Amino acid sequence: MISENLSKIKANLPSEVTLVAVSKTKPNEDILEAYKSGQRIFGENRVQELVDKYESLPKDIEWHMIGNLQTKKVKYIAPFVSLIHGVDTFKLLKEINKRAKSEGRIIDVLIQFHIAQEDSKSGFTFDEAKEMFEDREFVELENINVRGVMGMATFTDNKETVQDEFRTLNNYFEVFRSHYFKFNDSFSVISMGMSGDYEIAIGEGSNMVRIGSTIFGARNK
Ligand SMILES: *Cc1c(COP(=O)(O)O)cnc(C)c1O
């Protein structure tokens, strides 16, 4: 089932869109099934679960941290994480830089923006991000590489709302790219879209989608 689900999704993804298979709460067997059909990028949202899976699964998997990340837990994933999607404070970014430095790495990150109408979702506002990008301390962070932006739309059946929010994120991406990342070609990622809204997200310029339940089935709570 999992490999069939994956091939159905991949058949409909434009070639420039990267698929992050969101495996949170799912057992290693499920991940291995996806792995055997060629999937190499997986996303998790809990640090302990991410570390356990990293330790027990093939080493050529790229692990993405997609969830809310507490500053004090960065050290556990700093040795191996490929991309951290949910950077929602300057403080967190500084901690990632510090831990990356002690690992002798440069860690790729995405800046999370608050685009939804729900307060439960975190992220920078446009102005907060602007302030950070202009901060001297930001410019001096040497062990992080900002690859782009990430956001989650409001959980609603109203397609126009979702579309507007994704369009807003794409606009932010373009503005920041042309102002602060003009000379960084790797600032290229727009991570938006989940099982319920990834087609809309792609229509609004997403080039990285994070899909869980459509691949692995509903999660047990
Ligand atoms: C769980 C999760 C997803 C995947 O959600 P599905 O609806 O199962 O596709 C994507 N992004 C984030 C940040 C998540 O926490």
pLDDT digits (tens, 9 = 90+) for 49-82: 999 999 999 999 999 999 999 999 999 999 999 9
pLDDT-derived band at 221, boundaries 50, 70, 90: low
Mutate to test the pocket of ligand 1, among 190, 194, 199 (most ligand atoms within 8 A of CB): 194
Provide the number of structural domains found in the chain: 1
Place 219 in a pLDDT band, splitting at 50, 70 and 90.
confident
What is the reported pTM? 0.97
Residue 75: inside a domain, yes or no? yes
CATH number for the domain spanning 110: value is 3.20.20.10
**Residue 148 domain-assigned (yes or no):** yes
Look up residue 68 and give its two tokens. Answer: 């809310």
Q: Is residue 170 part of a domain?
A: yes
- The pLDDT-based confidence of 120 (bands split at 50, 70, 90) is confident
Asked if residues 204 and 192 have their Cβ atoms less than 8 Å apart, the reply is yes
Mean pLDDT of 101-126: 93
What residues contact 174, with CB distance under 8 A and at least 6 apart? none
Q: Per the domain annotation, does 109 fall within a domain?
A: yes
Report the amino acid identity of residue 31.
I
- How is residue 207 annotated by DSSP? S
Mutate to test the pocket of ligand 1, among 9, 45, 110, 206 (most ligand atoms within 8 A of CB): 45
Contact 109, 84 (CB under 8 A): yes
Q: Is residue 98 assigned to a domain?
A: yes
Phi/psi class of residue 38: alpha, beta or left (left: φ > 0; alpha: ψ in -120 to 50)? left
Q: Which residue's CA lies nearest to atom 12 of ligand 1?
A: 66
Q: pLDDT class for 119, splitting at 50, 70, 90?
A: confident
Contacts of residue 47, Cβ cutoff 8 Å, sequence gap at least 6: 65, 69, 70, 73, 76, 77
**Angle at 180 (CA atoms; ends 102, 140), nearest 5 degrees:** 30
Domain assignment of residue 207, yes or no: yes
- Rounded Cα–Cα distance for residues 210 and 135 (Å): 30
Spatial separation of the C-alpha atoms in residues 190 and 159, rounded to whole Å: 19
pLDDT band at 220 (very low <50, low <70, confident <90, very high): confident
Q: What is the pLDDT of residues 89-113, one digit of tens each?
A: 999 999 999 999 999 999 999 999 9
HSE, side-chain direction, 13 A CA sphere, residue 50: 28
Q: Are 71 and 92 in contact (CB under 8 A)?
A: yes
**Domain containing residue 196:** 2-216
Q: Look over the chain and give the mean of its residue pLDDT values, rounded to a whole number.
A: 96
14 pLDDT more than 80: yes
Residue 118 domain flag: yes
For the CA of 198, the closest atom of ligand 1 is 9
The answer to whether 68 and 47 are in contact (CB under 8 A) is no
- Residue 215: closest CA among 14, 26, 15, 16: 26
Instruction: Assess if residue 221 is contained within a domain.
Output: no
